[in-house]
Amino acid sequence: MNKDKRHEIFSRLHEANPNPTTELAYSSNFELLISVILSAQATDVGVNKATAKLYPIANTPEAIYALGVEGLSDYIKTIGLYNSKAKNVIATCKALIEQHDSNVPETREELEALPGVGRKTANVVLNTAFGQAAMAVDTHIFRVSNRTKLAPGKTVLAVEKSLMKFVPQEFLVDAHHWLILHGRYTCIARKPRCGSCIISDLCEYKDKQIDD
């Protein structure tokens, strides 16, 4: 895919949604961090339902840490892998309190040092909380990047690096959210909605669905 086509793709995505953001519900950087940890192999909708009950009760590192693993598990047991996630969240809260004055750190190295925080989670926080150019490649972004030939790659890291290289600079901060939303609602896995896709004519997917 050439440079002009990539620019036009993101121009259209920007025009359709000038201020994209995560669908996770949060009101602080700490809430965002915890929600992203909980969202691994879970839906944003499911996470939001759980945190709607949790955050009014506990939404600081100290408050959640005070719940303990069992107490936290009661709030998040509807989320997949909740036992291991509860342990990671409690350990992360402890680390934030002891090492970061209860603040969410702003560097990749510090974020990835937190329990339960991998590269993708760190990228979401860096991008969404701190406005840094970062690409959290989930299943949606991986699919869209490869299917459209926007930034093909065989691994998540390869796609991430390609996107960071090829997405026009002016769109780089918001590209992560546009691509997730496009993959979630239009370029879906089993039957992409090509007939209602605003970038269909620019996409290089060979098996387009034209009967939407």
CB 75 within 8 A of CB 98: no
Tell me whether residue 80 is exposed, middle or buried, using C-beta atoms within 10 angstroms of its C-beta: 0 to 12, 13 to 18, 19 or more. Answer: middle
Q: Which of 49, 77, 94, 138 is catalytic?
A: 138
Give the CA distances from residue 148 to residues 68, 69, 110, 120, 197, in Å, rounded to whole numbers and listed in that order: 45, 43, 34, 21, 12
Nearest Cα residue to 202 out of 68, 64, 7: 7
Cα separation, 15 vs 10, in Å, equals 8
- 206 in active site: no
CB 197 within 8 A of CB 209: no
Q: Which of 74, 94, 120, 201 is catalytic?
A: 120
- 120 in active site: yes
Which residues have a catalytic role annotated?
A: 120, 138
